[in-house]
Amino acid sequence: MPRFIHSAAALSLAVALTLALTGAPARAEDEKPVLTVYTYSSFISEWGPGGPIKERFEAECGCELEWVSTDDAGTLLSRLKLEGEGTDADVVLGLDTNLMAEAEATGLFQPHGVEAGALELPVPWTDATFLPFDWGWFAFVYDETRLPNPPESLTALVEAEDAPAIVIQDPRTSSPGLGLLVWMKEVFGDGAGDAWAKLAPKVVTVTQGWSEAYGLFLEGEADMVLSYTTSPAYHQIVEGDDAKKAAIFPEGHGMQVEVAGITRVTDNAELARAFLRFMLSEPFQSAIPERNWMYPAGLPAASLPPAFGALPTPEKSLLTAPEQFAENRRTWIDEWLAAMSR
């Protein structure tokens, strides 16, 4: 190695060492912290709430919000489990009550430490790890111009030989698919396997996620699609279309609460908590009804668009405890697979 250094090189080295010791490079001062939030693809789609939420949060936090998406909540959890402690996620947004226990069992989440305040939920909320941001009821949506006489109950949909053709989602990859799995179990109990076998001939196809299924329905490939009671509000508000309806069944409807949690491995825990507090505030919550087309968890009913107030609502909500679902998930999916493959 040479024993001397050219004077210009020596000067450059001295400047570099000074900056390193003082920690004062101009570029570092201008850098903003980055919060990485995993979610599902429709949340950050062109029509989803992700765009305005990113803009509104960044205006408050002095940070950069980076969305990372997967197709659906089921694949969201699968990705997180695959990445393990090497995940880049600071926050995971879009899991639901059916996945909470399994998500917590990974050991990849920490207590949120956020005061939830008054939530607009039809069920009490006390979970220390996950916070809700929206909720809704699963339902079969139809177009009354194509299907003027829809089934009047879930039992009728299952039992009738001439029942409408439907499209549903795979419970292994989709949160609505899991929701239907629980809904069928809540209504038919030990007879759910037989009910699935009767329903199977009416299923045109099973899709990986919600977006694909709903697209097939809109293209006329099926008479009904598994979606939410709030889905018709989109068509009314955006398209001026009153023909899309949600069939309300007397047995009750499966309910979904979507949640967010902070990963245990994040280096941005305080920023992540700031995001969860923001998540329950008006700037975030007001983006939910007309962009995620669900009921916001922290926005009073009086603040909802009028079309939401006119939506029919189930008389009975069916919600299985997360621990019970986690314990039985594999068995219930196997039951579904066996029935659908007959």
Instruction: Delimit the domains of the chain by residue range.
Output: 32-135+256-309, 138-255+317-340
Domains 32-135+256-309 and 138-255+317-340 share a fold: yes
Look at residue 29 in the predicted model and tell me its pLDDT: 53
3-state secondary structure 4-28: CCCHHHHHHHHHHHHHHHHCCCHHH
Task: Phi first, then psi: give them for residue 21, nearest 5 degrees.
Answer: -75, -35
Report helix, strand and coil shares of the chain as percent, to nearest 5: 45, 20, 35
Distance, in Å, from the CA atom of 88 to the CA atom of 189, rounded to the nearest integer, reads 40
* Residue 258 β-bridge partners: 96, 134
Q: What CATH superfamily is the domain 138-255+317-340?
A: Periplasmic binding protein-like II (3.40.190.10)
Contact between 52 and 287 (Cβ < 8 Å): yes
Task: For residue 156, give both structure tokens.
Answer: 């009728």
Residues 6+ apart with CB under 8 A from 240: none
Give the angle 328-76-188 at the CA atoms, nearest 5°: 30
Give the helix ranges, DSSP H, for 84-206: 100-105, 154-159, 175-188, 192-199
Look at residue 329 in the predicted model and tell me its pLDDT: 94
Q: Quick check: helix, strand or coil at residue 194?
A: helix
Name the CATH topology of 32-135+256-309.
D-Maltodextrin-Binding Protein; domain 2 (3.40.190)
Q: Which residue, among 228, 201, 230, has the nearest Cα to 213 in the 3D structure?
A: 228
**Per-residue pLDDT tens listing for the chain (342 residues):** 333 333 343 334 343 434 344 444 444 556 899 999 999 999 999 999 999 999 999 999 999 999 999 988 888 999 999 999 999 999 999 999 999 999 999 999 999 999 988 899 988 999 999 999 999 999 999 999 999 999 999 999 999 999 999 999 999 989 899 999 999 999 999 999 999 999 999 999 999 989 899 999 999 999 999 999 999 999 999 999 999 999 999 999 999 999 999 999 999 999 999 999 999 999 999 999 999 999 999 999 889 999 999 999 999 999 999 999 999 999 999 999 999 987
Look at residue 13 in the predicted model and tell me its pLDDT: 37
Q: Quick check: helix, strand or coil at residue 40?
A: strand
- Would you tell me the crossing angle of helices 322-340 and 192-199 to the nearest 10 degrees? 50
Task: For residue 330, give both structure tokens.
Answer: 């594999």
Calculate Rg over the CA atoms of the chain: 24
Q: Which residue, among 257, 267, 273, has the nearest Cα to 99 in the 3D structure?
A: 257
Distance, in Å, from the CA atom of 253 to the CA atom of 152, rounded to the nearest integer, reads 13
Task: For residue 77, give both structure tokens.
Answer: 């959890």
Q: Is the dihedral of CA 84, 53, 115, 321 positive or negative?
A: negative
DSSP string of 92-158, one letter each residue: EEEEETTTHHHHHHTT-EE-------S---SS----SS-EEEEEEEEEEEEETTT-SS--SSHHHHH
Give the Cβ contact number of residue 232 at 10 Å. Answer: 25
Contact between 291 and 49 (Cβ < 8 Å): yes
Q: Which residue, among 105, 163, 153, has the nearest Cα to 129 in the 3D structure?
A: 105
